[in-house]
Amino acid sequence: MTRRRTQRSTDGAPTLIDCDIHQRWKDESEVIQYLPDQYKDRGLQAPEILYDNVAEFSRRDAIPDDGSNPGSDIPKMKDQHLDEFGVDYAILTGNSYLNLTALPNDDYAAELAVASNKWAIDRWLSEGGPFVGSLLAAPQKPKRMAEMIRNLGQHPRVVQVVMPMAAQLPYGHEYYWPMYEAAEEMGLPIALHPYTEGHGVTRPPTGAGYPRTYFEWHTLLGTYAMGQLVSLVAEGVLPSFPDLDFVVVEGGLSWVPHFLWRMDKDWKALRAQVPYLEKPPSEYVKDQVRFTTQPIEEPDDPQHLLQILEMMNASETVMFASDYPHWDTDSPLYAIPPMPEEMEAGVMAGNAQELYGLPDDPASLPAK
């Protein structure tokens, strides 16, 4: 890949917005204090990932000097990533170790989400600067999460809701719609992020069942995203909530053109089953769904990836993400193939700025 230059904007519009950065606590007690009394003795409990990564899940060089969790030290994050690459906005997507949808106790899962979000607002968003954040949601408790979205979503630096990619029911199901009503009302996009697949009470991580290795699980992240996205389209979520946007995070993107072509082809013959879709499914997706880059596919010829990006109208639908501080963090200098100037401006910052309604100057966004 070609090395590109990055530099934090000093005036005018942002030039680099990172849409997937994972913040974490140094110690669980930071979050436990926000739990209701009935759950404080239980602490933070969620199923751990089933598959070992020999490279470890987070970068060793991201471990702070005090030996705490990667992603838990703000000065370290700024020095190693945000300042290093000139990131104008860091979209915090939460701690991916919280497998909320994998928990059978839906009440505990919901209160764990609320506690984690209160901690993130107090610890990270109040820092101001480049930080804007997401509300983690436990979708098995949709009415409680709708209440949380309306309450905590009023914070000026909360810009989206994040749901784990895996669940007990596909996300198009009407069971989840109270959350969608709240998110649309608050103007917050909903991001889907992997990690939960096959854990606890969620479904198997692949259509073929449970793989044996992290290699298999990670290679197939995009297939779970496809399952949730076709459900959102086919069950009528997108036409029923026309002002609600979704973001597919960390699912790759080379499958998107195939996925859209296949849906449109089947819609032509089977539209009687989905009469509320008044236009080809691909048009709903292009209007209301955005995709982040990491882990972007890397063909031997970068032109092949550029063709895919052109097929999915990346100038308007794709947003840069690094996945810092995880093991496969993408560098903004090298991860994206050479592309036309207009497309690059959209991917690196413009599309995210528009989706999240971010002002040109991060300092103008209140931290309280």
For the segment 200-243, what is each residue's pLDDT rounded down to a tens digit?
888 899 999 999 999 999 999 999 999 999 999 999 999 999 99
- Specify whether the CB–CB gap between 219 and 186 falls below 8 A: no
Closest CA to 45 of 200, 255, 228: 200
Residue 1 has what pLDDT?
46
Q: Count the neighbouring beta carbons within 10 Å of the beta carbon of residue 177.
A: 18
pLDDT means over runs of 10, the chain (368 residues): 56 92 95 97 88 85 94 96 97 87 95 97 96 97 98 98 94 98 98 90 91 93 95 98 98 96 98 97 98 95 95 97 94 91 96 98 93
The helix, strand and coil proportions of the chain, stated in percent and rounded to the nearest 5, come to 40, 10, 45
d(CA 363, CA 51): 41
Positive or negative, the CA dihedral 68, 73, 78, 81 is: positive
Residue 61: burial class (beta carbons within 10 Å; 0-12, 13-18, 19+): exposed
| Per-residue pLDDT, 9 | 61
The helix/strand/coil state of 185 is helix
pLDDT in tens, 285-302: 999 999 999 999 999 999
pLDDT value for 11: 64
Task: Give, for 89, the enclosing helix (H) or strand (E).
Answer: strand 89-92
* 98: Cβ contacts below 8 Å, ≥ 6 apart: 44, 46, 112, 113, 116, 136
Strand 17-21: give its sheet, edge to edge.
17-21, 89-92, 131-136, 158-164, 190-193, 246-248, 289-292, 318-319
What pLDDT, on the 0 to 100 scale, is given for residue 47? 84
- Peptide bond connecting 295 to the previous residue in cis, omega within 30 degrees of 0: yes
DSSP for residue 348: I
- Closest-CA residue to 101 (of 153, 163, 38): 163
Q: Find all residues with CB under 8 Å of 286, minimum gap 6, and list them.
A: 260, 313, 316, 317
Compute CA distances 184 → 110, 111, 244, 245, 276, whole Å: 20, 22, 5, 8, 19
Distance CA 5, CA 304 (A): 22
**Per the confidence metrics, is the pTM higher than 0.75?**
yes
